[in-house]
Amino acid sequence: MNRYLAEFIGTALLVLLGNGVVANVVLSRTKGNGGGWIVICAGWGFAVFVAVLCVGQFSGAHINPAVTIGLAVAGAGDNPFPWADVPGYIAAQLAGGLVGAGIVYVFYMSHYDETEDADLKLATFCTAPAIRSLKLSFLCEVIATFVLVYAVLLSTDVTFTLGVGASAQKVKVGLGSVGALPVGLIVFGIGLSLGGTTGYAINPARDLGPRIAHALLPIVGKRDSDWQYAVVPVLGPIVGSLSAALLFKLQ
Protein backbone atom coordinates (compact mmCIF):
# COMPACT_ATOMS: atom_id res chain seq x y z
CA MET A 1 0.00 0.00 0.00
CA ASN A 2 1.20 3.52 -0.77
CA ARG A 3 2.42 5.11 2.47
CA TYR A 4 0.31 8.26 2.01
CA LEU A 5 -2.81 6.19 1.39
CA ALA A 6 -1.94 4.20 4.50
CA GLU A 7 -1.74 7.38 6.58
CA PHE A 8 -5.09 8.50 5.18
CA ILE A 9 -6.76 5.17 5.98
CA GLY A 10 -5.11 4.90 9.38
CA THR A 11 -6.16 8.38 10.47
CA ALA A 12 -9.68 7.84 9.14
CA LEU A 13 -9.92 4.65 11.21
CA LEU A 14 -8.52 6.46 14.24
CA VAL A 15 -11.13 9.22 14.06
CA LEU A 16 -13.97 6.88 13.11
CA LEU A 17 -13.43 4.77 16.22
CA GLY A 18 -12.23 7.58 18.51
CA ASN A 19 -14.93 10.10 17.70
CA GLY A 20 -17.31 7.18 17.40
CA VAL A 21 -16.88 6.31 21.07
CA VAL A 22 -17.50 9.95 22.02
CA ALA A 23 -20.69 9.95 19.93
CA ASN A 24 -21.79 6.69 21.53
CA VAL A 25 -21.32 8.16 25.02
CA VAL A 26 -22.76 11.68 24.61
CA LEU A 27 -25.44 11.57 21.91
CA SER A 28 -29.06 10.93 22.83
CA ARG A 29 -30.59 7.43 22.80
CA THR A 30 -27.43 5.48 21.98
CA LYS A 31 -26.69 2.16 23.66
CA GLY A 32 -23.56 3.69 25.23
CA ASN A 33 -25.10 6.95 26.43
CA GLY A 34 -23.58 8.09 29.72
CA GLY A 35 -20.67 5.66 29.52
CA GLY A 36 -18.25 8.20 30.99
CA TRP A 37 -14.66 9.33 30.61
CA ILE A 38 -13.00 5.95 31.14
CA VAL A 39 -15.00 4.50 28.25
CA ILE A 40 -13.94 7.40 26.03
CA CYS A 41 -10.27 7.01 26.96
CA ALA A 42 -10.41 3.26 26.37
CA GLY A 43 -12.13 3.82 23.03
CA TRP A 44 -9.41 6.20 21.89
CA GLY A 45 -6.70 3.79 23.03
CA PHE A 46 -8.32 0.95 21.10
CA ALA A 47 -8.79 3.27 18.11
CA VAL A 48 -5.05 3.90 18.01
CA PHE A 49 -4.39 0.17 18.37
CA VAL A 50 -6.63 -0.68 15.40
CA ALA A 51 -5.21 2.07 13.19
CA VAL A 52 -1.58 1.15 13.91
CA LEU A 53 -2.32 -2.55 13.52
CA CYS A 54 -3.87 -1.97 10.08
CA VAL A 55 -1.37 0.38 8.45
CA GLY A 56 1.78 0.28 10.56
CA GLN A 57 3.55 -2.05 8.14
CA PHE A 58 3.00 0.35 5.24
CA SER A 59 3.67 3.83 6.65
CA GLY A 60 4.78 3.39 10.26
CA ALA A 61 1.26 4.52 11.25
CA HIS A 62 2.11 7.98 12.48
CA ILE A 63 -1.60 8.97 12.08
CA ASN A 64 -0.68 12.24 13.77
CA PRO A 65 1.21 15.28 12.43
CA ALA A 66 2.84 15.75 15.84
CA VAL A 67 4.33 12.25 15.66
CA THR A 68 5.45 12.80 12.06
CA ILE A 69 7.20 16.06 12.96
CA GLY A 70 8.70 14.56 16.10
CA LEU A 71 10.18 11.61 14.21
CA ALA A 72 11.59 13.89 11.52
CA VAL A 73 13.21 16.22 14.06
CA ALA A 74 14.57 13.42 16.23
CA GLY A 75 16.04 11.45 13.34
CA ALA A 76 15.58 8.29 15.39
CA GLY A 77 16.48 4.75 14.38
CA ASP A 78 18.55 3.23 11.60
CA ASN A 79 16.29 4.80 8.97
CA PRO A 80 15.29 8.28 10.21
CA PHE A 81 12.05 9.70 8.84
CA PRO A 82 12.79 11.98 5.85
CA TRP A 83 11.61 15.60 5.89
CA ALA A 84 10.57 15.25 2.25
CA ASP A 85 7.73 12.94 3.33
CA VAL A 86 6.41 15.23 6.07
CA PRO A 87 4.04 17.39 3.92
CA GLY A 88 2.49 14.34 2.26
CA TYR A 89 1.99 12.56 5.57
CA ILE A 90 0.35 15.59 7.19
CA ALA A 91 -1.94 16.20 4.22
CA ALA A 92 -3.04 12.56 4.25
CA GLN A 93 -3.63 12.67 8.00
CA LEU A 94 -5.76 15.81 7.82
CA ALA A 95 -7.83 14.35 4.98
CA GLY A 96 -8.26 11.11 6.89
CA GLY A 97 -9.44 12.97 9.97
CA LEU A 98 -12.04 14.85 7.96
CA VAL A 99 -13.36 11.71 6.26
CA GLY A 100 -13.40 9.69 9.48
CA ALA A 101 -15.47 12.38 11.19
CA GLY A 102 -17.87 12.43 8.26
CA ILE A 103 -18.44 8.70 8.58
CA VAL A 104 -19.16 9.10 12.30
CA TYR A 105 -21.84 11.65 11.43
CA VAL A 106 -23.45 9.34 8.88
CA PHE A 107 -23.29 6.40 11.29
CA TYR A 108 -24.97 8.32 14.15
CA MET A 109 -27.08 10.66 12.01
CA SER A 110 -30.41 9.82 13.67
CA HIS A 111 -28.86 10.33 17.10
CA TYR A 112 -27.51 13.74 16.09
CA ASP A 113 -31.06 14.64 15.11
CA GLU A 114 -32.32 13.49 18.54
CA THR A 115 -29.64 15.39 20.50
CA GLU A 116 -30.56 18.94 21.47
CA ASP A 117 -27.29 20.06 23.07
CA ALA A 118 -25.17 21.69 20.35
CA ASP A 119 -22.03 21.54 22.54
CA LEU A 120 -22.34 17.76 22.78
CA LYS A 121 -22.64 17.53 19.02
CA LEU A 122 -19.46 19.57 18.62
CA ALA A 123 -17.71 17.36 21.19
CA THR A 124 -18.14 14.36 18.90
CA PHE A 125 -15.98 16.13 16.32
CA CYS A 126 -13.31 18.11 18.16
CA THR A 127 -11.99 18.99 21.59
CA ALA A 128 -12.99 21.77 23.99
CA PRO A 129 -11.59 22.74 27.41
CA ALA A 130 -13.39 21.93 30.64
CA ILE A 131 -12.45 25.41 31.90
CA ARG A 132 -11.86 27.92 29.13
CA SER A 133 -8.32 29.25 29.38
CA LEU A 134 -6.37 29.33 26.14
CA LYS A 135 -2.99 29.66 27.84
CA LEU A 136 -3.55 26.81 30.30
CA SER A 137 -5.17 24.61 27.65
CA PHE A 138 -2.21 25.23 25.35
CA LEU A 139 0.20 24.19 28.11
CA CYS A 140 -1.85 21.05 28.80
CA GLU A 141 -1.73 20.03 25.13
CA VAL A 142 2.03 20.68 25.04
CA ILE A 143 2.66 18.48 28.09
CA ALA A 144 0.32 15.67 27.04
CA THR A 145 1.78 15.54 23.51
CA PHE A 146 5.30 15.66 24.92
CA VAL A 147 4.50 12.47 26.84
CA LEU A 148 3.06 10.84 23.71
CA VAL A 149 5.90 11.67 21.34
CA TYR A 150 8.68 11.05 23.85
CA ALA A 151 7.20 7.63 24.61
CA VAL A 152 6.87 6.90 20.89
CA LEU A 153 10.50 7.85 20.28
CA LEU A 154 11.60 5.54 23.07
CA SER A 155 9.44 2.76 21.63
CA THR A 156 11.50 2.37 18.46
CA ASP A 157 13.05 -1.03 17.82
CA VAL A 158 15.95 -1.92 20.08
CA THR A 159 19.00 -3.80 18.78
CA PHE A 160 20.69 -6.33 21.07
CA THR A 161 24.07 -7.99 20.52
CA LEU A 162 23.93 -11.72 21.17
CA GLY A 163 27.16 -13.62 21.63
CA VAL A 164 30.75 -12.37 21.67
CA GLY A 165 33.61 -12.02 19.25
CA ALA A 166 33.27 -13.28 15.69
CA SER A 167 30.06 -15.18 16.49
CA ALA A 168 28.22 -12.08 17.81
CA GLN A 169 24.96 -11.26 16.06
CA LYS A 170 22.80 -8.14 16.21
CA VAL A 171 19.12 -8.89 16.69
CA LYS A 172 16.39 -6.25 16.40
CA VAL A 173 13.50 -6.69 18.83
CA GLY A 174 10.26 -4.74 18.81
CA LEU A 175 6.88 -4.18 17.18
CA GLY A 176 8.08 -1.81 14.48
CA SER A 177 8.71 1.92 14.71
CA VAL A 178 5.54 2.30 16.72
CA GLY A 179 4.04 -0.87 18.17
CA ALA A 180 0.25 -1.16 18.02
CA LEU A 181 -0.33 -2.27 21.61
CA PRO A 182 2.22 0.01 23.32
CA VAL A 183 1.05 3.19 21.61
CA GLY A 184 -2.59 2.32 22.29
CA LEU A 185 -1.81 1.96 25.97
CA ILE A 186 0.15 5.22 25.91
CA VAL A 187 -2.86 7.10 24.54
CA PHE A 188 -5.18 5.38 27.04
CA GLY A 189 -2.90 6.36 29.92
CA ILE A 190 -2.55 9.96 28.76
CA GLY A 191 -6.31 10.26 28.55
CA LEU A 192 -6.86 8.91 32.05
CA SER A 193 -4.20 11.10 33.65
CA LEU A 194 -3.96 14.24 31.49
CA GLY A 195 -7.16 14.36 29.48
CA GLY A 196 -9.46 16.04 31.97
CA THR A 197 -8.62 19.63 31.07
CA THR A 198 -8.78 19.75 27.27
CA GLY A 199 -10.09 16.37 26.17
CA TYR A 200 -6.52 15.63 25.05
CA ALA A 201 -6.35 16.18 21.31
CA ILE A 202 -2.56 15.46 21.25
CA ASN A 203 -3.03 15.26 17.48
CA PRO A 204 -3.70 18.20 15.14
CA ALA A 205 -5.31 15.95 12.50
CA ARG A 206 -7.64 14.39 15.04
CA ASP A 207 -8.99 17.86 15.88
CA LEU A 208 -8.63 20.03 12.78
CA GLY A 209 -9.98 17.56 10.22
CA PRO A 210 -13.13 16.79 12.24
CA ARG A 211 -13.59 20.48 13.11
CA ILE A 212 -13.67 21.26 9.39
CA ALA A 213 -16.15 18.40 8.92
CA HIS A 214 -18.37 19.89 11.65
CA ALA A 215 -18.34 23.24 9.86
CA LEU A 216 -19.27 21.66 6.50
CA LEU A 217 -21.80 18.98 7.42
CA PRO A 218 -25.56 19.73 7.55
CA ILE A 219 -25.92 18.84 11.25
CA VAL A 220 -29.32 19.72 12.66
CA GLY A 221 -29.10 22.33 15.42
CA LYS A 222 -25.33 22.64 15.38
CA ARG A 223 -23.43 25.59 16.86
CA ASP A 224 -20.35 27.34 15.48
CA SER A 225 -17.17 25.26 15.22
CA ASP A 226 -15.26 27.31 17.85
CA TRP A 227 -12.40 28.35 15.59
CA GLN A 228 -11.04 30.67 18.28
CA TYR A 229 -10.03 27.62 20.32
CA ALA A 230 -8.78 25.59 17.34
CA VAL A 231 -5.27 27.02 17.60
CA VAL A 232 -4.76 25.17 20.90
CA PRO A 233 -5.19 21.54 19.68
CA VAL A 234 -3.29 22.34 16.48
CA LEU A 235 -0.24 24.27 17.71
CA GLY A 236 -0.02 22.86 21.24
CA PRO A 237 0.72 19.30 20.08
CA ILE A 238 3.33 20.55 17.61
CA VAL A 239 5.19 22.42 20.37
CA GLY A 240 4.98 19.37 22.61
CA SER A 241 6.29 17.17 19.82
CA LEU A 242 9.24 19.47 19.12
CA SER A 243 10.10 19.55 22.83
CA ALA A 244 10.09 15.74 23.02
CA ALA A 245 12.21 15.39 19.90
CA LEU A 246 14.79 17.91 21.08
CA LEU A 247 15.10 16.18 24.45
CA PHE A 248 15.46 12.84 22.70
CA LYS A 249 18.28 14.20 20.55
CA LEU A 250 20.14 15.42 23.65
CA GLN A 251 20.27 11.95 25.19
**SS3 sequence of 19-58:** HHHHHHHHCCCCCCCCCCHHHHHHHHHHHHHHHHHHHHHH
- Check pLDDT > 60 for residue 157: no
Task: Please say if the pLDDT value at position 169 is more than 70.
Answer: no
Residue 181 C-beta-side C-alpha neighbours within 13 Å: 2
What CATH number corresponds to the domain at position 79?
A: 1.20.1080.10
pTM attached to this predicted model: 0.91
Does the pLDDT at position 215 exceed 50?
yes
Q: Shortest CA distance to 219 belongs to which of 125, 156, 135?
A: 125
Tally of domains within the chain: 1
Burial category of 224 from C-beta neighbours within 10 Å (exposed 0-12, middle 13-18, buried 19 and up): exposed
Mean pLDDT calculated for residue range 78-94: 92
Chain-wide mean pLDDT for the chain? Answer: 91
**What are 223-241's pLDDT values in tens digits?**
999 999 999 999 999 999 9
Pairing relation of β-strands 169-173 and 158-162? antiparallel
- In tens, the pLDDT along 42-61 reads 999 999 999 999 999 899 99
Give the pLDDT band of residue 181 (cuts 50, 70, 90).
confident
Look up the domain containing 49 and give its range. 3-250
Across 135-144, 148-157, 173-182, 189-198, least confident range:
173-182
Confidence of residue 251 (pLDDT cuts 50, 70, 90): confident
